[in-house]
Chain A
Amino acid sequence: KAGVTQTPRYLIKTRGQQVTLSCSPISGHRSVSWYQQTPGQGLQFLFEYFSETQRNKGNFPGRFSGRQFSNSRSEMNVSTLELGDSALYLCASKIEGANIQYFGAGTRLSVL
């Protein structure tokens, strides 16, 4: 069974641009969560999607948004990029009702 797949693995953007990251969960997993990892703030929960609906949200500005498609694939979007958005963005998926999440390798975003 394929794991959680995140694309692209690396991205370089400039301030003010927007970016879209993609996450394909493990087959059969309908819950997808996103996390931001930075050296200063560590791992922080961004949001979670289940059945195409956002059902949990972390403490991030509205520039961070996401969506989930009917096949459970998810995208997150960051608009008006700031230097501080440089981070590793991790996606995780799980089966509804289960307690274990499985993480992808992440997308490393660099904002110049």
Chain B
Amino acid sequence: AQSVTQLDSQVPVFEEAPVELRCNYSSSVSVYLFWYVQYPNQGLQLLLKYLSGSTLVKGINGFEAEFNKSQTSFHLRKPSVHISDTAEYFCAVSDVERSGNTGKLIFGQGTTLQVKP
């Protein structure tokens, strides 16, 4: 079984400051890792994914994340945030062995990023 823990429920930050949203996972099997963003009254949009290869992955809107297998973490970072980044962010995992053949994602509880002017 897999589980995902997002360590901060809310992260307030000033505009143009850097930010890190933390995600840890637990799994007995290899996993793929994802970050999704949800703007108010909208669905989920994929920010970035780690499937294999380089542990530093870059996504849309200037976000990046680093996969750390030994620490079972996949923290999301952005060097300079904008007001428009205010949203809820979800970390998710899927089972590598079954990922291609199942749509099941396990999500963390979400982190609300509040960017202040």
Interface residues in chain A, defined as those with a beta carbon under 8 Å from any beta carbon in chain B: 4, 6, 31-33, 35, 42-45, 48, 55-56, 58, 90, 92-94, 96-106
Contact = CB atoms under 8 A, between A and B. Distances in A.
Contacts of A32: 103
Interface of B: 32, 36, 41-46, 49, 51, 90, 92, 94, 99-110
**A interface secondary structure, majority:** strand
Contacts of A43: 90, 92, 105, 107, 110
Contact of A90 (B43, B51, B100): B43
B100 A97 contact: yes
Contact of B103 (A101, A105, A106): A101
Contacts of A33: 103-105
A92 B46 CA distance: 12
Contact of B106 (A45, A99, A100, A105): A45
A14 to B, nearest CB: 23
Contact of A56 (B43, B90, B103): B103
A58 B36 CA distance: 20
A93 B44 CA distance: 12
Given A42-B110, A98-B100, A105-B42, 20 more contacts: A35-B105, A43-B90, A43-B107, A45-B105, A45-B106, A48-B102, A48-B103, A55-B101, A55-B102, A90-B44, A92-B105, A97-B100, A97-B101, A99-B51, A99-B94, A100-B46, A100-B49, A101-B105, A102-B46, A103-B43
A6 B49 CA distance: 24
